[in-house]
Structure 1
Amino acid sequence: MLRNKKWIALWVLAVAFQACVKDHNPQPDPTENPAAFREVSSTKIGGEAAAEISAYDPASKRLFTVNNEAKALVDVLDLSALPKVIKIQSIDISALGGVANSVSVSDGKLAIALEATNKQANGSVIVMDTKTLTQLKQITVGALPDMVTFSPDGKYIVTANEGEPNATYTNDPAGSISIIDVTNNYSIRTLTFDSFAPLQAQLQTGGFRIFGPNASFAQDIEPEYVAISQDSKKAWVTLQENNGIAEVDLLGGAIIKLHPLGTVDVSLPENAIDPSNEDGKIVFATWPIKSLYLPDAISYFNVNNAGYLITANEGDAREYDAFVEQARISTLKLDPSKFPNAATLQKKEQLGRLYVTKTLGDTDQDGDYDELYTFGGRGFSIREAATGQLIYNSGKSMEEEVVKAGAYDDSRSDDKGVEPEGITVGMVNGKPIAFIALERADAVAIYDVSNPKAPQFLQLLRTGDAPEGILFVAPDKSPNGRSMLIVSSEGDGTVKVYQPDRL
């Protein structure tokens, strides 16, 4: 009898020990519902510009969020007791340069993209230890590093160096892409686009744009965002203002191809838009115009061993003291043979309020516009990573979902609509799920992209004001063993965490 009691006691201790281990090492939940994400935590770290881009370290369970409200900071938040979030401290990097633009984490290292105090000078990447917060390295990259990311294997740090001109357009640095080899003492190779200049005419035929005043081909290129393949061999970088994507060989350290993105035909029913913010209603209709994709964020995902690229087609216009490319259609002279009903189209209730570029459309160079090109796709697109071929464009469908949810801001109808800015793809229950941050709708749209040619809308989440940073954390890296969607909103300085319901 005593022996049995001893065995029972040992069994109870073993069960208790396993429960303790499980509590401290939560296992991934295999039954999550990707159509039912809910907000579990909201943290306000400041006001406008206080929460831009975030990166998560699974080892320390810390979140690092760019905060430029007053000066260049990276706020450190402890997520180990989620839903409770505790701000630990701020990393002050203002003495090292200008504005912090982006962060990324890999294997206990935090990379921070920091532009120079003089925005047209070369910026840098600061590498820090995620636990001790000590600086490991500062590496000089190209001008205005706007986005930084580690490759999945942690070997490379890649930056998109936008190279914006100054206000007078008298100093326009070359746009570039920097590849830092972490395993080789942070050796760096910064790539520019000079070698593609002979292809300018061919690229422009496909919708690529080179149009800055007195800018060379390399100066006019403005890299924006980076996505990297799962095998860490290739990167794709959006060239937003240029309406293109650069394909990069990380192993060879070279830009191997530029992909022009073409335009969206708004005269087709599936691409209908609401172009007026002064008609007192939301109506999607077709119009005799085209729209430039001009993508901001890009993400890579894999389905059945095939790679795909998904882009948030935000749209962007160059606006400087010396050069403003956009104008309302009501202010332009339209070719009467191409627009016989110009007087009607230019009314504010129709196309008059819509912004278009002045750099395209006068095809016969006679001083009036034969075609009209507006900014942004107002949705997302999916392309084959191997070829760059477009296989899906959301057209009007995503904005229609925003209208159904009562989140559409009609005051932005004349200016890029919901303005998709951030995008990422995460695996939920073995399915690739896309999350698209909509800056002007204060929301995130969620889609199942298991069939990249026919994504399925799942849910619209309300966020803080102007969501910019969007980050997915897989269950095995999360503090509680459940998927996390982390949204940083620059308009109101909030960081929100969402998790899916269990099925």
Structure 2
Amino acid sequence: MKTPTRLTRTALSTALTLALLPLASEAVSSRNAEYFERIATFPVYRNLGADEDASKQTVAEITAVSRDGRTLIYTDSPGERIGLVDIQDPKSPKPAGFVKLEGEPTSVAVHHHFALVAVNTSLSVAQPDGVLAVFDIRNPAQPKRVATLPMGGQPDSIAISPRGRYAAVAIENERDEDLNDGLLPQLPGGFLRIVDLKGQPSRWSTRDVSLTGLTEVAPNDPEPEYVSINDQDVAAVTLQENNHIVLVDLRRGRVLRHFSAGQVDLNGVDVEENDRIESVGALKGKRREPDSIAWVGPLLATANEGDYEDANGEEGGSRGFTLFDYNGQVWHDADVSMEHAFIRAGHYPENRSENKGIEPEGIASGSFRKQDFLFVGSERGNAVAVYDMARPWAPVMHQLLPAGMGPEGILPIPARNLLVVSSEEDSAEDGYRSTISIYQFGAKASSYPEIRSPDSQLIPWSALSGMVADHTQNNRLYAVPDSYYNASRIFNVDTSKTPAVIDGQIELRNAGKTVDYDLEGIAQAGNGDFWLASEGNGKAKPNLLIHTNANGEVLNEYALPADVAAQQTSNGFEGIAVAGEGTASRVYVAFQREWKNDTAGKARIGVFNPTNGEWGFVHYPLDPPVGGGWVGLSELTAIDNGQFLVIERDNQQGPAAKVKRLYRIDLNGVQPVAEGQRFPLVSKRLERDLLPDLQSTGGWVLDKVEGAAVDNQGRLFVVTDNDGVEDASGETRFMRLGAVAP
């Protein structure tokens, strides 16, 4: 279809400008680079009324901002409402309440002092319907509904043109995934509805643009998904299941261009869910199937989530993003680079390897202080990749921002130097909640990740559960992952760099074969051997002490005596430490919680003599839980003169987290005794409350503070376990907490 000459020349002129002036833009970026830093996390359940159950599901999916930049408006689909958040002080967001709707909100946008909310009111998938609800938000405390526009079908995305002339609504009329295995077509087909924003909302008129007859997959069932509008009033629309992109002239109400999003071959991806991150697979002819789309100057950026399995069982989604020009030519494709970046940051969801990997879904662009950025959100990796767009044909990853679970909406607010990310996964029962993360632009360095593997090699890691410092090498730690992954290993960590770098790994082997332990702690003996604690499950899997040499070869496994093992529960070995040399060497292991015959509120620390195989025990007094849950031990770290550091934590996260503490105990003069005797009770002294450290980055407080190490310079390091990004945000805190007092 022929493009109007004026529009073609505008697009080409803009493209040439970008092509001819990259060096100046890049110079600004390299000399004065600034970064985004998270300053607040708002759990959206805080918007619930005092008389409502705080565990009630409430979700933030798509977010918009008022014209003055002080109020966020987000869609809460399961609650059939929109929520509001006061961000006058973005570091301290405040709940501003809900507005009830007649159906499920799917998207929201702001035009002047009006909030436009797309609402799905369909009786069924086969009977799609919806409205555009318009609210006057000049008084954000009391939004006033001023108009309701019929949409003629089930709406999804909505966008406002930069010049404020038009709104465009993607009328998806989504398919029933349970009908005929979800195969297309499923009529009625969707379309694009244009709203002419002239005069008061009650006088706004609408026009429709047909999107049928354009695609190869299901030409009569386009299912438009997402829409973005440029400053020439051209709407770019993704037809996700049809793997297609359509450009629509909103002024004339007609299709200008359309093209397939194409296919890619991916090499170096994990395609098997086998409890290992192995990026050695290949995917051939993978349809991109873009979800969200954003204009970046004259280019179009798509997040290639994938959402459709065809009749041959082939599923789309290319695990990255693509930049197209106006004619559908590919300027850049992320290929596997974005997914590999998530692997290096510990954010790869191995449990999604046979599906769509990190699953990019949200995408947005924005200019902050002369730096042009592209933001790509990973629905399953729970982070947002930020790309420097100084050279649009060769984006460079600028930083990675941790988010809540299931980041969906990405909202740049350049006028206030803010970026807002809404994450929709919410389950009070499982301990995580839907959140809105707020980031501020202007930091002189990137604060995340705090630990990663290097660019020079792809070392997968995650779920760090124990840590120890090397006895002889400066700036060298060792860390272990827990049972989330098969093929147990020890990671080498270089702390001389910021972020710390996992620059190597030692795979554990027994008689030449890999082993699968639930490693919760690691210690190093004076000769360089390692001692590891593997937690049992209270059933067939025993608690074990594992002795390996420096190369990870298992020398011995030590189980508990039968009379001790008979007392076990599902909470077993956690931290481990080694003290003494030769026949005076002892291995100390912390038990997470009370066992069957332990006094309530007292967890045991076992002391093992490798020379004769004997065990003795002492009791450690646990802090009482605050507001629910339980409190237990998660790490044991030897320091000089018979003293140890102990991490004590509750199993709560977010605002419910209360007990995250580092204690010091002194075992000099304390004689461990055998099972069946009364264990001596050790005394403890608070070394550091870790809760302020966990809160310091403005994020969701993580529950699993799992590893601690004190290096040979007396510096303390503490790490959290991210649970392999399954039912967890994937964020790992690697905290440098200064010198430990003698």
Per the TM superposition, whether the score is higher than 0.5 is yes
Distance 1:261 1:164 in 2: 19
Distance 1:238 1:140 in 2: 22
- From 301, 308, 311, the equivalent of 1:358 is 311
Please state if 1:487 is matched with 2:421.
Answer: yes
Distance 2:434 2:33 in 1: 26
Distance 2:31 2:169 in 1: 34
Distance 1:32 1:73 in 2: 45
Shift of 1:287: 2.9
Q: Which residue does the alignment assign to 2:646?
A: none
Shift of 1:49: 5.5
Give the SS at the match of 1:398: helix
TM-score with structure 2 setting the length: 0.50
* Change in CA separation of 1:423 and 1:49 when aligned onto 2, cut-off 3 Å: farther
> What residue identity is the alignment partner of 1:376?
G
Q: Deviations over 1:203-256 (max 9, x none)?
A: 53xxxx22xxxxxx33x211000111123x211100000000111010101123
Q: Which residue does the alignment assign to 1:291?
A: 286
The 5 Å alignment of 1:445-484 reads 445-474=385-414, 476=415, 478=416, 483-484=417-418
Q: Deviations over 1:307-350 (max 9, x none)?
A: 01001000102xxxxxxx4xxxxxxxxxxxxxxxxxxxxxxxxx
* Change in CA separation of 1:401 and 1:252 when aligned onto 2, cut-off 3 Å: same
Distance 1:101 1:141 in 2: 13
Distance 2:242 2:354 in 1: 21
Shift of 1:172: 2.4
Shift of 1:31: 12
Q: Deviations over 1:474-501 (max 9, x none)?
A: 1x3x2xxxx1110100013101101123
Q: Which residue does the alignment assign to 1:387?
A: 327
Distance 2:190 2:328 in 1: 21
Please state if 1:54 is matched with 2:49.
Answer: no
- From 117, 123, 129, the equivalent of 1:122 is 129
Give the SS at the match of 1:223: coil
Give the SS at the match of 2:375: strand
On the 8 A contact 1:33/1:502 being kept in 2, the answer is no
Shift of 1:190: 1.7
Q: Which residue does the alignment assign to 2:661?
A: none
Q: Which residue does the alignment assign to 2:301?
A: 310
Q: Which residue does the alignment assign to 2:154?
A: 144
Please state if 1:82 is matched with 2:22.
Answer: no
> What residue identity is the alignment partner of 1:301?
V
Q: Deviations over 1:21-80 (max 9, x none)?
A: xxxxxxxxx9997653111111111365611010001326110011124x2111111111
Shift of 1:428: 1.9
Q: Which residue does the alignment assign to 2:700?
A: none
Distance 1:107 1:86 in 2: 23
Q: Which residue does the alignment assign to 1:343?
A: none
The alignment yields a C-alpha RMSD, in angstroms, of 2.2
Distance 2:394 2:281 in 1: 22
Distance 1:109 1:252 in 2: 25
> What residue identity is the alignment partner of 2:210?
T
Q: Which residue does the alignment assign to 1:370?
A: none
Q: Number of paired residues? A: 386
Unaligned runs of 5+ in 2: 1-28, 46-55, 426-432, 445-742
Q: Deviations over 1:144-199 (max 9, x none)?
A: 211111111111111111112345469622111000001162110122234x2xx6
Q: Which residue does the alignment assign to 1:444?
A: 384
Please state if 1:159 is matched with 2:166.
Answer: no
Q: Specify the structure having the higher radius of gyration (Cα).
A: 2
Shift of 1:260: 0.9
* Change in CA separation of 1:288 and 1:38 when aligned onto 2, cut-off 3 Å: closer
On the 8 A contact 1:148/1:226 being kept in 2, the answer is yes
Please state if 1:408 is matched with 2:348.
Answer: yes
Q: Which residue does the alignment assign to 1:188?
A: 206
* Change in CA separation of 1:135 and 1:50 when aligned onto 2, cut-off 3 Å: same
- From 101, 118, 121, the equivalent of 2:106 is 101
On the 8 A contact 2:170/2:193 being kept in 1, the answer is yes
Please state if 1:276 is matched with 2:284.
Answer: no
Q: Which residue does the alignment assign to 1:428?
A: 368
Structure showing greater relative contact order (alpha-carbon pairs closer than 8 Å, 6 or more residues apart): 1
Shift of 1:426: 0.7
On the 8 A contact 1:64/1:76 being kept in 2, the answer is yes
On the 8 A contact 1:60/1:131 being kept in 2, the answer is no
Shift of 1:89: 1.7
Shift of 1:432: 1.4
> What residue identity is the alignment partner of 2:271?
P
Give the SS at the match of 1:183: coil
Distance 1:374 1:134 in 2: 44
Shift of 1:265: 1.7
On the 8 A contact 1:33/1:500 being kept in 2, the answer is no
Give the SS at the match of 1:241: helix
Distance 2:342 2:32 in 1: 21
On the 8 A contact 2:36/2:443 being kept in 1, the answer is no
Q: Which residue does the alignment assign to 2:72?
A: 63
Distance 2:380 2:35 in 1: 22
Shift of 1:272: 3.1
> What residue identity is the alignment partner of 1:261?
A
Distance 1:159 1:34 in 2: 36
On the 8 A contact 2:342/2:381 being kept in 1, the answer is yes
Distance 2:30 2:393 in 1: 25
> What residue identity is the alignment partner of 1:379?
G
* Change in CA separation of 1:80 and 1:289 when aligned onto 2, cut-off 3 Å: same
* Change in CA separation of 1:253 and 1:275 when aligned onto 2, cut-off 3 Å: same
On the 8 A contact 1:73/1:92 being kept in 2, the answer is yes
Give the SS at the match of 1:143: coil
Q: Which residue does the alignment assign to 1:330?
A: none
Distance 1:494 1:107 in 2: 26
On the 8 A contact 1:272/1:395 being kept in 2, the answer is no
Please state if 1:256 is matched with 2:256.
Answer: yes
Give the SS at the match of 2:41: strand
Could you list the runs of 4 or more consecutive aligned residues of structure 1 that deviate by over 4 angstroms after TM superposition? 30-35
TM-score with structure 1 setting the length: 0.73
